[in-house]
């Protein structure tokens, strides 16, 4: 009897742990990630890196101006590589400060070990994702900064 109860409790705990872990971080797919960054943990409430605050001038292909929001896992990573679960959301603006797109990098364990395990996605302002996953374009350019974990705008100290 007690064994059965203990077994049941272990089962329950495993279930709760699994579901809470799932609720915490999205899978490596654009829909879950969009849900996460717009509803579960709205990125506009995240931090900026200390060395990249607010709106800044940027380079092609990302648009003239940008704001880069980072979640806590990203912000708290003090040495390369970033912690798994790190998400970087870059708002891409044109010269007239109109928001054109979001480009996002999300660090997912075992997603793409050859290139820093980053899940890349470009969203329209309405959340339509294209491209996403391991786009050659994003990766080949960001690889120039592979020794800074593929990130351009933040240098580890
Ligand atoms: C031709 C080079 C190039 C390509 C292609 C490119 N990026 Fe970038 N990316 C940059 C540069 C340079 C920056 C630094 C910010 C800036 O200059 O606008 C940057 C910054 C970023 C950032 C902010 C974090 C950082 O690295 O500083 C994210 C997120 C990002 N890019 C995502 C993407 C995604 C997603 C794609 C593909 C859809 C992509 N990038 C394609 C060059 C590129």
pLDDT at 10 over 90: no
| pLDDT tens for each residue of 15-66 | 555 555 445 899 999 999 999 999 999 999 999 999 999 999 998 888 899 9
Beta carbon of 135 within 6 Å of any ligand 1 atom = yes
| pLDDT tens for each residue of 55-108 | 999 988 888 999 999 999 999 999 999 999 999 999 999 999 999 999 999 999
Ligand 1 atom with the shortest distance to the CA of 66: 18
pLDDT at 156 over 60: yes
pLDDT in the model for residue 27: 96
Beta carbon of 62 within 6 Å of any ligand 1 atom = yes
Beta carbon of 34 within 6 Å of any ligand 1 atom = no
> CA–CA separation, 25 vs 129, rounded Å?
18
Of 41, 32, 48, give the one whose Cα is nearest residue 108.
32
Beta carbon of 155 within 6 Å of any ligand 1 atom = no
């Amino acid at each position: 009897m007690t064994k059965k109860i203990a077994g049941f409790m272990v089962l329950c705990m495993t279930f709760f742990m699994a579901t809470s872990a799932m609720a915490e971080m999205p899978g490596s797919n654009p829909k879950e990630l969009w849900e996460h960054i717009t509803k579960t943990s709205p990125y506009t409430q995240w931090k900026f890196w200390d060395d990249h605050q607010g709106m800044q001038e940027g380079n092609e292909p990302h648009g003239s101006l940008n704001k880069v929001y980072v979640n806590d896992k990203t912000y708290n990573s003090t040495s390369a590589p970033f912690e798994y679960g790190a998400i970087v959301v870059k708002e891409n603006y044109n010269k007239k400060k109109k928001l054109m797109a979001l480009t996002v990098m999300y660090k997912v364990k075992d997603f793409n070990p050859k290139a820093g395990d980053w899940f890349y996605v470009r969203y329209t302002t309405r959340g339509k994702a294209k491209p996403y996953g391991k786009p050659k374009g994003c990766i080949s350019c960001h690889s120039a900064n592979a020794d800074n974990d593929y990130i351009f705008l933040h240098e580890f100290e």
